Amino acid sequence: MSLFWRIFSLNSAGLIVAAALLLGPVTVSTPVLPAEALVVVAGLAVLLAVSAVVLRVGLAPLERLGRSMATADLLRPGARAAVAGPAEAAELIRTYNTMLDRLETERASSAARALSAQERERHRIARELHDEVGQTLTAVLLQLKRVADRAPEELREEVGQAQEATRAGLDEIRRIARRLRPGVLEELGLASALRSLATEFTAHGLSVRHHVPGDLPALPEEAELVVYRVAQEALTNTARHAGAARAEIRFRRIADGVELVVSDNGKGFGTAAEGAGIGGMRERALLIGAALAVRPGPEGRGTDVRLCIPTMPGISAMPAKSAIPAGGR
């Protein structure tokens, strides 16, 4: 029954009962007698109480809908308001849930296009850094070598410093290009890419251990890229913001799929709002139907980033592509 008919029926019943009583056994004298006043006040109180209950019950679904709308987050899909209450409220809740379905689908589609364009741009920049800037710096190094061979003794030290600065710049350009385009992922597979990622961050001051067995299920190409990018972003956040000395990458099989865990012993993020990095990880997780959780580590210290990827059709055992051991620094 709709909210309108509930309230109308209640008020009608109350008025009909009141009229019947006034036309029957109940009378009102002038002046009003105490017994008559008591009957009128009691009837009014009952009518108001029942009206309040009907309105409270009828409007409760709308209050729940308001709370659901206030906490809705397209990066955490699946939460829906329960369809209940009068016909108008139930129809409104159904319409809201349908709108959320459409928005989540559109968000996932637009995020997929944006991330695909981002990966293409990363590849283009990496190629230009490697082919253009890298070759230019290599030519500068060769020219400096020839200058050093012919330079006077008092200038050779300065030329040598220029060579070292150019060589360091070339190494940095190559490192950036590798991060933009994970060639090891394309050539050796996900397990080797994660181990290489741990080694790369270890070389830059953060001690990173890895536990990546070689018998994990093989994932589709887009899922492997999501796992790699999430691990890369999590370690980048750890190195930049966590103040951690140690971190760990674990990639393992679970009951209904595989799970990536990146943990550290840093200060965590406390009450700080999630930044663009975590938002990007959530968007990538949505593309492959994975669940991402960012929460404090054991005993409230550090941060754990967990990416759970459900079992996908056609997944088989991951072939071993590298002889690198599963654990280590």
| Residue at 90 is within a domain | yes
In a domain, 120, yes or no: no
The SS3 assignment for 291 reads strand
Residue 156 is assigned to a structural domain of this protein: no
In this structure, the answer to whether residues 220 and 322 fall within a common structural domain is yes
Q: What is the DSSP string of 120-176?
A: HHHHHHHHHIIIIIHHHHHHHHHHHHHHHHHS-HHHHHHHHHHHHHHHHHHHHHHHH
Same-domain status, 194 and 320: yes
pLDDT on residue 329: 35
Same domain, 193 and 299: yes
Distance from C-alpha of 12 to C-alpha of 5, rounded to nearest angstrom: 10
Strand partners, 253: 258
CATH classification at residue 277: 3.30.565.10
Compute CA distances 270 → 264, 296, 301, whole Å: 14, 8, 10
Last residue of some domain: 77, 105, 133? 105
Residues 329, 197 share a domain: yes
Q: Is 175 contained in some domain? A: no
Examine the fold and report which residue of 58, 86, 105 is the final residue of a domain before the chain moves on: 105
Residue at a domain's end among 105, 126, 154: 105
**Do residues 286 and 108 make contact, with C-beta atoms less than 8 angstroms apart?**
yes
- For the chain, how many structural domains are there in total? 2
Helix axis angle for 153-180 and 134-150, nearest 10°, is 170
Please, are residues 265 and 305 in contact by the beta-carbon 8 Å criterion?
Answer: no
- Does residue 129 fall inside a structural domain? no
In one-letter notation, the amino acid at residue 27 is T
**Strand (E) positions, the chain?**
207-211, 246-254, 257-264, 291-296, 303-310, 327-328
pLDDT score at 34: 77
Q: Do 211 and 320 lie in a common domain?
A: yes
Each of the 329 residues of the chain gets a pLDDT tens digit; together they read 666 677 777 777 777 777 776 656 666 666 767 776 777 778 778 877 877 777 777 778 888 888 888 777 766 777 788 887 777 778 888 888 888 888 877 777 777 777 777 777 877 887 777 677 778 888 888 888 888 877 787 777 888 888 888 888 888 887 777 777 777 777 778 888 888 888 888 876 788 888 888 777 778 888 888 888 888 888 888 888 777 788 889 888 888 788 899 888 887 766 666 666 788 888 888 878 888 888 887 766 788 888 988 875 444 334 334 333 333 43
Domain annotation covers residue 141: no
The C-alpha atoms of residue 229 and residue 224 are separated, in whole angstroms, by 9
For residues 235 and 201, the answer to whether their CB atoms sit within 8 Å is yes
Cα–Cα nearest to 226, from 177, 254, 263, 185: 185
Residues 94 and 214 in one domain: no
Comparing CA positions, the residue from 49, 102, 94 lying closest to residue 77 is 102
- Show Cβ contacts of residue 5 under 8 Å, excluding neighbours closer than 6 positions: none
Cα angle 260, 266, 270; round to 5: 95
Peptide bond into 31 cis (omega under 30): yes
173 inside domain: no
Domain hosting 59: range is 3-105
Q: Are residues 70 and 200 in the same domain?
A: no
- Whether 124 is in a domain gets the answer no
Question: 327 and 206, same structural domain?
Answer: yes
- Please state whether beta strands 303-310 and 291-296 pair in parallel, antiparallel, or not at all (unpaired): antiparallel
Closest of 327, 324, 329 to residue 189, by C-alpha: 324
